[in-house]
Amino acid sequence: MSKLIISNNLSISPLAGAVGAELSNVDLGADLSDATIAQIRQALLDHGVVFFHDQDFDTDAHKRLALRFGDIFIHPFFDTRGQDPEIVMIHREPGDTHIVGEDWHSDTAMVEAPPMGAILFAIEVPDYGGDTLFASQAHAYNALSDGMKRMIADLKVVNSDIRVAGPTTTRNENRTTKSRMDADWVATETAHPVVRTHPETGRKSLYCDRSYSIRFEGMTEEESAPLLDYLMDWGTRPEFTCRFRWRKGSVAFWDNRCTKHIAVDDSHRDRRIMRRIQIAGDRPF
């Protein structure tokens, strides 16, 4: 595996051609210098998602790390009553038949300003299984034909959390980490560009997913389905993806503006506990 040294200590090892890299020789729980934070941010922009192993930090340190990249985003529909709203604990217990993130998605795409990214820390993981796949939506967009790019250039997609929260969803059945289903829950629906421009790199990416995207603006679900399904399937072709195998103490930090991800549901007999903080973003354009 080729390795590019980007400072005297921090190094980066790409995992795949389109997306993903492992960073080493950094303690994320420490008081990192501005230069190191800048290097991590640049690696995130270059690779879409960055991974770390052998980390050990508590909730307070997790928050301090996230705040170096932006404000903390409060998740709107996970049931965190009685818990710290800035933290989402993702539990998977033996026998669960549904898991958080079981479809390809960009996080929380139905809000006006979806999070720019998330930092996920592995507390307890199975010996094998429970991997996470990531897909570069910038590479997916670039690989489209010129005709398809013209066709979707001005389309907007309506995103809603109706499939993943509220009284009509089945996601809470046999799932330890629950979405809100209380009477005060109201669906959130927002239209975003199908092709979004990254606010830092200027690169264009596809922006639609299985969890939230329900139809094109001004069209019915039936009318939207053929093209929308095509774009969502296209965006997760193998050549746009990487696969990350978790260990206790592993961390994934992904750019939610240009990647999608999915949790692999193949560790049914094991417990998996993860701690996640999301970082606030801006409205897609």
Are the C-beta atoms of 263 and 104 separated by less than 8 Å? no
pLDDT value at residue 186: 81
Q: Which residues make beta-bridge pairs with 275?
A: 89, 121
Per-residue model confidence as pLDDT tens digits over 82-116:
688 999 898 888 887 777 778 999 999 999 999 99
User: Which residue is listed with tokens 């979806």?
Assistant: 114
Q: Clarify whether 107 is annotated catalytic.
A: yes
Residue 180 has pLDDT above 70, yes or no: no
Per-residue model confidence as pLDDT tens digits over 4-55:
555 557 899 999 999 999 999 999 999 999 999 999 999 999 999 999 999 9
Residue 247 has pLDDT above 60, yes or no: yes
Task: Give the mean model confidence (pLDDT) for residues 169-191.
Answer: 70
- What are the Cα distances from residue 285, in Å, to 31, 193, 240? 34, 6, 22
**Which residue in 210, 211, 212 sits closest to 192, CA to CA?**
212
Are the C-beta atoms of 259 and 48 separated by less than 8 Å? yes
- Reported as a pLDDT band with limits 50, 70 and 90, residue 239 is very high
> Tokens in use for 144?
């489209």
Q: Which of 96, 107, 161, 209 is catalytic?
A: 107
Residue 1 has pLDDT above 50, yes or no: no
- Reported as a pLDDT band with limits 50, 70 and 90, residue 177 is low
Q: Clarify whether 91 is annotated catalytic.
A: no
pLDDT value at residue 75: 81
Q: Which of 210, 261, 272, 275 is catalytic?
A: 261
SS3 content of the chain, % helix, strand, coil (to 5): 20, 30, 55
Q: Clarify whether 105 is annotated catalytic.
A: yes
pLDDT value at residue 55: 98
pLDDT value at residue 82: 61
Task: Give the mean model confidence (pLDDT) for residues 142-163.
Answer: 96
Distance CA 282, CA 66 (A): 16
- Reported as a pLDDT band with limits 50, 70 and 90, residue 172 is low
pLDDT value at residue 81: 59
Q: Which of 75, 92, 171, 276 is catalytic?
A: 276
Are the C-beta atoms of 123 and 273 separated by less than 8 Å? yes
Q: Which of 105, 139, 192, 275 is catalytic?
A: 105
Distance CA 59, CA 54 (A): 16
CB atoms under 10 Å from CB of 174, counted, come to: 12
Per-residue model confidence as pLDDT tens digits over 265-282:
898 888 999 999 999 999
**Which residue in 39, 106, 89, 47 sits closest to 69, CA to CA?**
39
Q: How far does CA 34 lie from the centroid of its chain?
A: 25
- Reported as a pLDDT band with limits 50, 70 and 90, residue 255 is very high
Q: Which fold has domain 4-279?
A: Double-stranded beta-helix (3.60.130)
**DSSP state, 155?**
-
Its pTM stands at: 0.92
Distance CA 104, CA 208 (A): 10
Distance CA 175, CA 183 (A): 20
Distance CA 142, CA 233 (A): 15
DSSP string, 46-75: HHSEEEE-S----HHHHHHHHHTTSPEEPP
Please say whether the dihedral angle defined by the alpha carbons of residues 211, 49, 52 and 279, taken in this order, is positive or negative.
Answer: negative
Mean model confidence pLDDT for the chain: 91
